[in-house]
Amino acid sequence: MTSIDSLIAALQAEGYEPDRRLATAVFLALKLQRPLLLEGEPGVGKTELAKALARVLQRSLLRLQCYDGLELREALYEWNYAAQMLHMRAAQDRAQAADIEREVYQPQYLIRRPLLQALETPAPGAVLLIDEVDRADEPFEAFLLEYLGEYQVSIPELGTVRAKVPPVTILTSNRTRDLNDAVKRRCLYHWMDYPDRERELSIVRRQVPQASAALAQQVAAFVGRLRSQPFANAFQRSPGIAESVEWAKALVALDTLSLDPEVVADTAGILFKQREDVAALTPLVSELLQPEPTP
Ligand SMILES: Nc1ncnc2c1ncn2[C@@H]1O[C@H](COP(=O)(O)OP(=O)(O)O)[C@@H](O)[C@H]1O
Ligand SMILES: [Mg+2]
């Protein structure tokens, strides 16, 4: 990637609309070979960025979805215990115990998980997505710090595995908790906001070409207002970009030409996934639909 502009164009060609600051962060992460931590509300395009970037770089995407209780054997590797047992049983009569032990700790009995696969991916290397790292626990974060520092791991029975090509690493967080400072320091950091209206409009237009320009405009404007004050306070969670896209599709399916209070109320379950939020929308609809005061 030679410039920020060419990165923007390449991401757009893959269906992803970045804003300039995000593209700059990605560009620098590539140039400086640093992991990139993307933090932001759900639905702002963090996961999708990693997927689009993998396509742009023509690298394979390895995704580690984090959750509470994630263990190294799911993140890094584990031994294929069942296959080892079979081997041992078959070898019992012909070999010494010490030989059998050596035989069962061979690479063919290793189950490789994303963090190990990322080290072993041949050129051009992988894009490693460590998704929703805020959901993992602190011991895992401590391990991650070490991993991101050296891109190597040691497997006691086999030795050290060092990255053939360091993976392009994207970490995402929905910020359900604060991450370890040391992890943050290791990464470049970018806070991802909801898109501005123009960018959301181009995402909706691209993903729902059947929607008229006027309807797409109304969708982007309405959702943008929902997420801004004073309206945002009325809801527990604001709709993400996926919701705007889904909503535009639903409106097209209903042959909607233009938003009105009735169709908004009828389709509220696409914008909001919580009963309280759906209920909170109804009394605000007519105000939300009013033409905005021109500044
Ligand atoms: N910048 C963008 N350009 C195009 N589509 C986007 C963009 N951001 C988000 N999307 C759409 O929104 C959906 C949700 O985004 P996602 O990456 O899953 O959000 P997050 O990981 O931040 O929760 C994606 O599937 C994609 O269709
Ligand atoms: Mg995500």
Q: Which atom of ligand 1 is nearest to the CA of 19?
A: 1
Among 60-64, 262-266, 289-293, where is mean pLDDT lowest?
Answer: 289-293
Q: How far is the CA of 44 from the centre of ligand 1 (A)?
A: 6
Residues 146 and 181 in one domain: yes
Residues 145 and 39 in one domain: yes
pLDDT digits (tens, 9 = 90+) for 10-63: 999 999 999 999 999 999 999 999 999 999 999 999 999 999 999 999 999 999
Binning pLDDT at 50, 70 and 90, where does residue 291 land? confident
Domain assignment present for residue 271? The answer is yes
**Cα-Cα-Cα-Cα dihedral of 22, 25, 29, 30, to 10°?**
60
Find where tokens 């970009």 sit: 241
Domain end residue (candidates: 131, 166, 191): 191
Q: Cα separation of 257 and 239, whole Å?
A: 22
Residues 70 and 105 in one domain: no
Q: Cα separation of 215 and 197, whole Å?
A: 13
Find where tokens 């604060």 sit: 178
Closest CA to 130 of 120, 159, 109, 117: 117
Residue numbers of the domain that contains 168? 4-76+113-191
Domain assignment present for residue 294? The answer is no
Residues 145 and 204 in one domain: no
pLDDT digits (tens, 9 = 90+) for 111-148: 999 999 999 999 999 999 999 999 999 999 999 999 99
Asked if residue 157 lies in contact with residue 48, where contact means CB atoms within 8 angstroms, the answer is: no
Tokens of 33: 């070979």
Q: Which of 48, 171, 208 to mutate to test the pocket of ligand 1 (most atoms within 8 A of CB)?
A: 48
Q: How far is the CA of 42 from the centre of ligand 2 (A)?
A: 6
Residues 184 and 39 in one domain: yes
Q: Which atom of ligand 1 is nearest to the CA of 15?
A: 4
Q: Which ligand is nearest to the CA of 12?
A: 1
Residues 219 and 264 in one domain: yes
Residues 107 and 119 in one domain: no
What average pLDDT is seen over the chain?
A: 95
pLDDT digits (tens, 9 = 90+) for 162-201: 999 999 999 999 999 999 999 999 999 999 999 999 999 9
Quote the pLDDT of residue 250: 97
Domain assignment present for residue 95? The answer is yes
CATH at residue 156: 3.40.50.300
Tokens of 234: 């009325």
Q: Which residues contact 232 (CB under 8 A, 6 or more apart)?
A: 226, 238
DSSP 160-213: EEE-SSPPEEEEEE--SSPPPHHHHHHSEEEEPPPP-HHHHHHHHHHH-TTS-H
Alpha helix ranges (H) inside the chain = 4-13, 20-32, 46-57, 72-75, 81-91, 97-104, 114-120, 138-150, 181-186, 197-207, 213-227, 241-253, 261-266, 268-271, 275-281, 285-289
Domain assignment present for residue 295? The answer is no
Domain end residue (candidates: 175, 191, 207): 191
Residues 106 and 246 in one domain: no
Residues 41 and 165 in one domain: yes
Domain end residue (candidates: 141, 174, 191): 191
Binning pLDDT at 50, 70 and 90, where does residue 294 land? low
Q: Cα separation of 159 and 144, whole Å?
A: 19
Q: Which atom of ligand 1 is nearest to the CA of 18?
A: 1
Q: Which of 196, 241, 246, 249 to mutate to test the pocket of ligand 1 (most atoms within 8 A of CB)?
A: 241
Pocket of ligand 1 (CB under 6 A): 15-18, 40, 42-48, 172, 203, 240-242, 245
Domain assignment present for residue 268? The answer is yes
Domain assignment present for residue 227? The answer is yes
Residues 117 and 107 in one domain: no
Domain assignment present for residue 19? The answer is yes
Q: How far is the CA of 172 from the centre of ligand 2 (A)?
A: 7
Domain assignment present for residue 106? The answer is yes
Quote the pLDDT of residue 94: 86
Q: How many domains does the chain have?
A: 3
Residues 183 and 137 in one domain: yes
Binning pLDDT at 50, 70 and 90, where does residue 245 land? very high
Residues 101 and 21 in one domain: no
